[in-house]
C-alpha cells in the first residue's frame, strides 16, 4: 500500500496557472529557498503583506537538513499561516535541483507540488531521457516539472561548474517537446552563490545575455522560463557582514534592473537563495556584536527574520513585480 500524500490535500498548488499569469502579466513568481522555521515565516509574512504568489523551494541539501516529513508539515503550516494573515496565497512547494528520478519521486510522494530535475550536466540525450521519466511520473499526479538546459557556473549542491555553458537556443524546442516539461531553466550569465562575477577594479557587472533569452523566446514563444542564480548579493549586507568579522571579498550579484528586465519577459520564476542567507548572516552578526551577553536564539533569529521580511517585500514589489498578483 502506498503512503503517498498529494499536495492538493495540503492546500498547495502546482505552478502551471501561476506561470501562465506571470508570462502574460510581465512579472515573475519569486522562488525563495528555505531550510528552517524563520526563513519560512519570513516568506509567508512578506508574501501575505505584498499579496504575492510564491514558490517555496527546498534543495537536496535543505531536505537532508530539515527532513522531508518535517518539510511537508512546514509547507502545510505556511498555507494555514497565510490564511490566518487573511490571505489565501497560492503556495507551491518545489524541489530545487533534483538530481535523480528517485529523489523527485520521493518528494512528489511526500506532497511536493513541483519538482526540478536538473540533468543539465548530462549529455543532451541523457538529460532528455531522465527529464522525460520524471515528467511521466509527475504528470500522473498533476505535479509540475522544471528541466534545465545549459550549465550555470558555481555550486549546485554537490555539482561544481567552473564555467557557465550558455543554453543553446537551437536545443530548447526539441527538449521541451520530447520531455513535456512545464518550465525550463536556462543559463544566460547568472550563477549560484555570492561570487557571481570576477571583476577587475573599476569594472562593472557584465549584462546578462538577453540576446540568448530573445532567441529562446522566439523558438518557444510564451513558454515559462526560469532564472536561477538571481540573487543581487545586496552590497549593504556584504558590508555589514564584513564590518562584523567576516571576509567576503569580491562578492557580487545580478543588478536589480537586469532582473526587472528579465521578469518582464518569458522569465516567470526567479530563484533567490543567497540574498536571504546574506540578510540572515548580516543581522545575526550585527545583533550579537551589539548584544554580546544575549544567548536566546529567538532574539538574534528574530532580528534576522525581520530583515528577511523587508528584503522579500522589496523583491516582490520592486524587482519581480509579483506584489498584488496573488
Ligand atoms: O541552487 C542552489 C541553492 O542555492 C541551494 O543551495 O544546496 O546549499 O541548499 P544548497
Ligand atoms: P542564488 O545563489 O543567486 O540565490 O541562486 C539560487 C538558486 O538558483 C536556487 O536554485
Ligand atoms: Zn539554482
Determine the length of the chain: 326
Q: Which of 156, 164, 195, 270 to probe ligand 1 with, by most ligand atoms within 8 A of CB?
A: 156
Q: Which of 63, 231, 232, 258 to probe ligand 2 with, by most ligand atoms within 8 A of CB?
A: 231
Q: Tell how far the Cα of 223 is from the centroid of ligand 3, in angstroms.
A: 19
Q: Tell how far the Cα of 194 is from the centroid of ligand 1, in angstroms.
A: 11
Mean per-residue pLDDT pooled into runs of 10, the chain (326 residues): 89 98 98 98 98 98 96 97 97 98 98 98 97 98 98 65 84 98 97 93 93 98 98 98 96 97 97 98 98 98 98 98 98
CA distance 86 to 321: 21
pLDDT for 246:
93
Number of folded domains that form the chain: 1
For ligand 2, is residue 271 a contact (CB within 6 Å)?
A: yes
232-284 confidence digits (pLDDT tens):
999 999 999 999 999 999 999 999 999 999 999 999 999 999 999 999 999 99
Q: Catalytic positions, please? A: 96
Q: Could you tell me the pTM of the whole model? A: 0.96
For ligand 2, is residue 273 a contact (CB within 6 Å)?
A: yes
Q: At a CB cut-off of 8 Å and minimum separation 6, what does 283 contact? A: 240, 300, 303, 304, 306, 307
Indicate whether 81 belongs to any domain. yes
pLDDT for 153:
76
pLDDT for 159:
54
Indicate whether 325 belongs to any domain. no
Atom of ligand 2 nearest to the CA of 154: 2
Q: Tell how far the Cα of 258 is from the centroid of ligand 2, in angstroms.
A: 15
pLDDT for 123:
97
Please say whether the beta carbons of 228 and 251 come within 8 A.
no
CATH code, domain carrying 32: 3.20.20.70
Indicate whether 284 belongs to any domain. yes
For ligand 2, is residue 62 a contact (CB within 6 Å)?
A: no
For ligand 2, is residue 193 a contact (CB within 6 Å)?
A: yes
Q: Enter the C-alpha cell of residue 162.
A: 567552473
Indicate whether 2 belongs to any domain. no
Identify the nearest ligand to the CA of 274 by its number: 2
Indicate whether 289 belongs to any domain. yes
Q: Tell how far the Cα of 290 is from the centroid of ligand 3, in angstroms.
A: 34
Indicate whether 326 belongs to any domain. no
Indicate whether 203 belongs to any domain. yes
pLDDT for 164:
73
CA distance 286 to 240: 7
CA distance 121 to 111: 27
Please say whether the beta carbons of 282 and 240 come within 8 A.
yes
pLDDT for 161:
62
CA-based end-to-end distance of the chain: 37
5-33 confidence digits (pLDDT tens):
999 999 999 999 999 999 999 999 999 99
Angle CA(30)–CA(99)–CA(277) in degrees, nearest 5? 40
Indicate whether 190 belongs to any domain. yes
Domain that holds residue 204: 7-320
Q: Tell how far the Cα of 192 is from the centroid of ligand 3, in angstroms.
A: 6
Atom of ligand 1 nearest to the CA of 273: 4
For ligand 2, is residue 192 a contact (CB within 6 Å)?
A: yes
Please say whether the beta carbons of 31 and 55 come within 8 A.
yes
SS3 sequence, 151-207? Answer: ECEEEECCEEECCCECCCHHHHHHHHHHHCCCEEEECCCCECCCECCCCCCCCCCCC
pLDDT for 160:
57
Task: State the pairing for strand pair 114-117/159-161.
Answer: unpaired
Pocket of ligand 1 from Cβ distances under 6 Å: 33, 59, 61-62, 96-97, 156-157, 192, 273
Q: Which of 57, 62, 64, 153 to probe ligand 1 with, by most ligand atoms within 8 A of CB?
A: 62
Amino acid at each position: 500500500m502506498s503512503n503517498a500524500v498529494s499536495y492538493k490535500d495540503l492546500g498547495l498548488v502546482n505552478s502551471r496557472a501561476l506561470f501562465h499569469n506571470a508570462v502574460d502579466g510581465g512579472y515573475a513568481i519569486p522562488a525563495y529557498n528555505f531550510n528552517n522555521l524563520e526563513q519560512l515565516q519570513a516568506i509567508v509574512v512578506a508574501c501575505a503583506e505584498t499579496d504575492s504568489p510564491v514558490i517555496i523551494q527546498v534543495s537536496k541539501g535543505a531536505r537532508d537538513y530539515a527532513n522531508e516529513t518535517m518539510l511537508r508539515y512546514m509547507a502545510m503550516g505556511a498555507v494555514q499561516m497565510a490564511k490566518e494573515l487573511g490571505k489565501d496565497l497560492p503556495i507551491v512547494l518545489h524541489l530545487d535541483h533534483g538530481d535523480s528520478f528517485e529523489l523527485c519521486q520521493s518528494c512528489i510522494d511526500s506532497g511536493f507540488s513541483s519538482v526540478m530535475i536538473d540533468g543539465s550536466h548530462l549529455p543532451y540525450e541523457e538529460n532528455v531521457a531522465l527529464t522525460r521519466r520524471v515528467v511521466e511520473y509527475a504528470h500522473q499526479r498533476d505535479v509540475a516539472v522544471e528541466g534545465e538546459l545549459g550549465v550555470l557556473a558555481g555550486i549546485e549542491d554537490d555539482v561544481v561548474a567552473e564555467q557557465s555553458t550558455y543554453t543553446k537556443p537551437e536545443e530548447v524546442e526539441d527538449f521541451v517537446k520530447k520531455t513535456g516539461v512545464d518550465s525550463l531553466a536556462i543559463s544566460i550569465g547568472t550563477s549560484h552563490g555570492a561570487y557571481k562575477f570576477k571583476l577587475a577594479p573599476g569594472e562593472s557587472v557584465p549584462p546578462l545575455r538577453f540576446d540568448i533569452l530573445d532567441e529562446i523566446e522566439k523558438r518557444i514563444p510564451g513558454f515559462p522560463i526560469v532564472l536561477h542564480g538571481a540573487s543581487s548579493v545586496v552590497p549593504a549586507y556584504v558590508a555589514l557582514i564584513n564590518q562584523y568579522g567576516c571576509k567576503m571579498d569580491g562578492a557580487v550579484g545580478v543588478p536589480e534592473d537586469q532582473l526587472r528586465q528579465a521578469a518582464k519577459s518569458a522569465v516567470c520564476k526567479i530563484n533567490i537563495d543567497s540574498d536571504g542567507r546574506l540578510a540572515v548572516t548580516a543581522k545575526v552578526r550585527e545583533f550579537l556584536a551589539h548584544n554580546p551577553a544575549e544567548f536566546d536564539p529567538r532574539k538574534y533569529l528574530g532580528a534576522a527574520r525581520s530583515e528577511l521580511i523587508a528584503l522579500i517585500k522589496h523583491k516582490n514589489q520592486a524587482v519581480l513585480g509579483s506584489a498584488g498578483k496573488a
